[in-house]
Structure 1
Amino acid sequence: MRPSTLFGSLAALLLSPVSDAALTTVTNWGSNPTNLEMQIYLPKKLAAKPAVVVALHGCGGSGQQYYQQANYGSYADDKGFIVIYPSSKNDSNCWDVSFPRTLTHDGGGDSEGLSNMVSYLVQKYNADPAKVYATGSSSGCMMTNILLAVYPDVFSAGSCYSGVAAGCFAGSPGNSPTTSNRTCANGDVNKSGAEWAAQVHAMYPSYKGAYPRMQTFHGTADTLVYPQNLFEQLKEWSALLDVSWTRNNTNTPSSGYTQMVYGDGTKLVGYLAQGVGHTVPVHPQMDMKWFGLL
């Protein structure tokens, strides 16, 4: 199936009507250079100092759609944290993962707007700035990688599905399957860990601290965002986190999945799902455990 055909099928699925009654629309939350929309899920009882999870939809999707797809609501209610479900309305509703403005700290792109959403919640709800996390699928996973790279002082960890390394799309004319040059999505951007790390360091050159923990999933049968992109992510984050591959665990967390462990497994893990296409289903319980919220 051609990428454009596959994208059309995906978009039709993602844009089907869903209820957003559980979400609260937020306006006037701060600088919003790319006109993003912000909706949040507020738990029935907020923790005294709640964590914040940014949950990012894929191309063709929306915050409302990803609220239903990711199914984090019951966990938020149980633990009292806030989930941001933002929406991009540009380039087939894809996140900007290619232009310098989003690949630069406070550069005026999508990444800055998303970071400002977090800042708003930290101030308004006394959220814990040490417990801010990002997750997403497809384009949302690509943006998760970018948020952790461009705002490592804001995010503590990421967990995402079927994306690419931060900076992989740099220089592409667009971000969607129909506007990008496909070089990155096809798995043809291959770099060493040191090269990836240098690219990330250039996104926020004054930052000298530690980088966030990362957990990332990909399917072997993905023909929209090829599985080589999983290994490029692992090269990038292993270099940034200074951890090396130690072992593979087969049939983990379930049959057909291979877990790739780096170091002691507390900073970086990857999951390759045999026979799974685009995208790997969200594993909300695993996300919450990775974030330390369970």
Structure 2
Amino acid sequence: MHFSTSIASALAVLSATANGALVRVNDFGANPSNLQMNIWVPANVVAKPAIILALHTCGGTGESYAQTARFGTLSDTKRTWITIYPSTKKDSNCWEVNTVKGLTRDGGGDSTGLANMIKYTIQKYSADTTKIFVTGASSGCMMTNVMMAQYPDLFSAGTCYSGVAAGCLAGSPGASPGSADPTCANGQRVKSSEEWVKTAKAMYPGYNGSYPRMATWHGTGDTLVRYANFQEQLKQWSGLLGVAFTKNTTNTPQSGYTQMVYGDGTKLVGYSAQGVGHIVPVHDNDDLKWFGLA
């Protein structure tokens, strides 16, 4: 019995030292909206690792999202990326995607703190600045769109589950289901591709460079963030990336999902999930393929 207990204890120690763990970082630079930073660094991470910023849902936390979006635990095998799981504690833990400061580059909102988490991690771990990615679900997807619009020079690509176009909630009194103007979530904020591009570019005036690649997912049965928002996102990113719709591929990446390909499929794809409600489950392995980390 003593022998078995000793073996179990030794294995536990080996497991703890062989893998990463979620660790709080308290001083990562300017943090005007008092966010929390949690980081997962795999043991023996490679030189010049990639970074994934993973953004939780309304009501969630970075810690809980680490259990849903398994980029941290998956990195323990690959050891080629670091994952940041931040938390916001305001407005039912929903990301600030509605205010002027939150929709302005370095404007002093949540997006400013999130960008500083990325910059801190790049510096501390000598990360590869060509491999910086962002992903999120629901409110986290809304912020993914915002981060990619505000900091297109920081991110290489993003993935997004059941959200809205960047700027859709602009001017709303809040960003949570209980505080927001419902027009956006109900899919009633409809614009042309050109109008959505203008909305995104206003978040980083004067920027003339390229925008990150986007893969976005939405369920046809979503009654909280209506399916119409999926098309508005695709309008925005097709305009920003300069690609047009080319084809649908059914039952991809699984039965009941349709992949909507824009251009040659390397810059923008959408995934329509038939009958799926809010939220489309995170497909982390597909995300890693999109990021070039699989």
TM-score normalised to the size of structure 1? Answer: 0.92
Q: In structure 1, give the amino acid aligned to 2:32.
A: P
- Which residue number corresponds to residue 174 of structure 1? 174
What do the CA deviations read for 1:51-89 (whole angstroms, capped 9, x no partner)?
A: 000000000000000000111124312132100000000
Distance 1:76 1:209 in 2: 31
Distance 1:74 1:35 in 2: 26
Matched, 1:36 2:35: yes
CA contact (8 A) 2:72 2:82 kept: no
- Which residue number corresponds to residue 279 of structure 1? 279
- Which residue number corresponds to residue 293 of structure 2? 293
Distance 2:216 2:68 in 1: 17
Q: In structure 1, give the amino acid aligned to 2:35.
A: L
CA contact (8 A) 2:224 2:278 kept: yes
Distance 1:214 1:241 in 2: 9
Distance 1:214 1:263 in 2: 12
Distance 1:72 1:27 in 2: 21
Distance 2:238 2:259 in 1: 15
Q: In structure 1, give the amino acid aligned to 2:206.
A: S
Secondary structure (helix, strand or coil) at the match of 1:115 reads helix
Distance 2:47 2:234 in 1: 35
Q: In the TM superposition, what are the counterparts of 1:5-44 in structure 2 within 5 Å?
A: 22-44=21-43
CA contact (8 A) 2:141 2:164 kept: yes
Q: In structure 2, give the amino acid aligned to 1:75.
A: L
Secondary structure (helix, strand or coil) at the match of 2:182 reads coil
Q: In the TM superposition, what are the counterparts of 1:66-85 in structure 2 within 5 Å?
A: 66-77=65-76, 78-85=78-85
Q: In the TM superposition, what are the counterparts of 1:107-118 in structure 2 within 5 Å?
A: 107-118=107-118
CA contact (8 A) 2:252 2:259 kept: yes
Q: Over aligned residue pairs, what C-alpha RMSD do you find?
A: 0.9
Greater Cα shift, 230-239 or 67-76: 67-76
- Which residue number corresponds to residue 219 of structure 1? 219
Distance 1:73 1:100 in 2: 32
Structure 1 residue 47 displacement after superposition? 1.1
Distance 1:175 1:167 in 2: 11
- Which residue number corresponds to residue 4 of structure 1? none
- Which residue number corresponds to residue 46 of structure 2? 47
Q: In structure 1, give the amino acid aligned to 2:278.
A: H
- Which residue number corresponds to residue 127 of structure 1? 127
Secondary structure (helix, strand or coil) at the match of 1:168 reads coil
Structure 1 residue 202 displacement after superposition? 1.1
* Aligned structure 1 segments of 4 or more residues deviating by more than 3 angstroms: none
What do the CA deviations read for 1:179-224 (whole angstroms, capped 9, x no partner)?
A: 0011100000000100000111111112110000000000011000
Q: In structure 1, give the amino acid aligned to 2:205.
A: P
- Which residue number corresponds to residue 155 of structure 1? 155
Distance 1:79 1:266 in 2: 25
Secondary structure (helix, strand or coil) at the match of 2:183 reads coil
Q: In structure 1, give the amino acid aligned to 2:63.
A: Q
Structure 1 residue 129 displacement after superposition? 1.4
Q: In the TM superposition, what are the counterparts of 1:184-195 in structure 2 within 5 Å?
A: 184-195=184-195
What do the CA deviations read for 1:153-181 (whole angstroms, capped 9, x no partner)?
A: 11110001000000000011000000001
- Which residue number corresponds to residue 17 of structure 1? none
- 5+ long unaligned stretches in structure 1: 1-20
Q: In structure 1, give the amino acid aligned to 2:71.
A: Y
Distance 2:292 2:49 in 1: 13
- Which residue number corresponds to residue 93 of structure 1? 93
Aligned residue pairs total 274
Secondary structure (helix, strand or coil) at the match of 2:66 reads helix
Distance 2:150 2:113 in 1: 12
Distance 2:282 2:44 in 1: 25
Distance 1:57 1:74 in 2: 16
CA contact (8 A) 1:44 1:80 kept: no
Secondary structure (helix, strand or coil) at the match of 1:269 reads strand
- Which residue number corresponds to residue 9 of structure 2? none
Greater radius of gyration (CA)? 2
Structure 1 residue 255 displacement after superposition? 0.7
Secondary structure (helix, strand or coil) at the match of 1:184 reads helix
- 5+ long unaligned stretches in structure 2: 1-19
TM-score normalised to the size of structure 2? Answer: 0.92
Structure 1 residue 152 displacement after superposition? 0.3
